[in-house]
Structure 1
Amino acid sequence: MTKAQEKEFLKQLEKHQNIVHKVCKMYTNDDASHKDLFQEISIQLWKAYSKFRGDSKFTTWMYRVSLNTAITLYRKSKKRIATQDIAEISFKVKAEEYDATTEENIKFMYAAIKELNDIDKALVLLYLEGKDYKEIAETLGVSQVNARVKMTRIKRKLKSLLSS
């Protein structure tokens, strides 16, 4: 990979790192796990960047890699997330501090979302990001109709969870 590609990757990662933070928030329960998952997703994005062809938006690709990494690690071990040493990678990303207090107003929603299965969590996350059903379907590898039906069912389930 050239220096220009490395520079572009770092620029895109820093610009869109909130995507990774949101995925981490959905799949972790504490700051240490959040930081570990953020690091692992960053490494996986770096490893996969040379395969990014630009067929989709960078953010769509970033969501897909992030969600796949989080789901894979979550399924491997629900108690501990395996990580790699970032010292093996030659770049450093200036991470914005993630302020959990700003998320306080939506903690109940996150708690309800965490009760969903892995795919439903991913669908809700993309929906809350304002992604259209075409992009959600592309990111998750499902049809648009399936994404719409699942979202309708998820909304009902979340309403039920939040009202109880």
Structure 2
Amino acid sequence: MNESTNVIDISKIIETNRGIIYKVVNSYCSHINEQEDLMQEIIFQIVKGYKNFDHNVKVTTWMYKVAFNVAISYYRKLKTRQKHMIPMPSKIVVIDERETNEYDERIPQLRTFINEFDALHKAILIMYLDGNSHKEISSAMGISVSNVGTKINRIKTQLKKKFKQ
């Protein structure tokens, strides 16, 4: 496979699965500048890593793995950087979800609950809500399939409690 074919392939893969990148970015960053930076870094790492992509693995699972690894690293760097920054007013970009056809008033509440989870649990929940199998989540997160099942059950229990409150 030549280099131009790889560029076309990875471009199509990114375009087809851009929702994965969007979900991860929006789960880890709320400021538009941070979102753009993280999105660029994820895409860069996907393009960079494509030459080593194991085509026996589902492309979406691989993309999740890359995106979450980049997001977690980015988030850690951001937290370290924030320790040394002077607080300044910031503009938060909020998309009004009520503009979509499938608006559910529980979505903002669910996002609030998701943000309370640590990075691993957040990643597992996002992949689970996106319909990925336990095996795919296991592969992307580097934990056993049974561990994924256990964590998902615990997450569900926590969310049920939070929604009842």
Shorter-chain TM-score tier: 0.7 to 0.9
Equivalent AA in structure 2 for residue 50 of structure 1: K
Q: For 1:47 and 1:137, how far apart are their aligned partners in 2?
A: 23
Residue 79 of structure 1 deviates from its aligned partner by 7.2
Per-residue deviation, residues 53-98 of structure 1 (Å, max 9, x unmatched): 21201111000000000011112222769xxxxxxxxxxxxxxxxx
Residue 122 of structure 1 corresponds to 123
| TM-score (ref. length: structure 2) | 0.82
Equivalent AA in structure 2 for residue 143 of structure 1: S
Percent identity at matched positions? Answer: 34
| TM-score (ref. length: structure 1) | 0.82
CA RMSD across the alignment: 2.0
Residue 95 of structure 2 corresponds to 100
Q: For 1:79 and 1:17, how far apart are their aligned partners in 2?
A: 28
**SS class of match (2:79):** coil
Residue 144 of structure 2 corresponds to 143
**SS class of match (1:100):** coil
Residue 14 of structure 1 corresponds to 15
Q: Which has the larger radius of gyration?
A: 2
Q: For 2:31 and 2:163, how far apart are their aligned partners in 1?
A: 22
Residue 130 of structure 1 deviates from its aligned partner by 0.5
- List runs of 5+ in structure 1 lacking aligned partners: 82-98
Residue 101 of structure 1 deviates from its aligned partner by 2.4
Q: For 2:51 and 2:97, how far apart are their aligned partners in 1?
A: 35
Residue 91 of structure 1 corresponds to none
Q: For 1:48 and 1:159, how far apart are their aligned partners in 2?
A: 38
Q: For 1:79 and 1:30, how far apart are their aligned partners in 2?
A: 17
Q: Quick check: 103-112 or 142-151, which moved more? A: 103-112
Give the number of equivalent residue pairs: 147
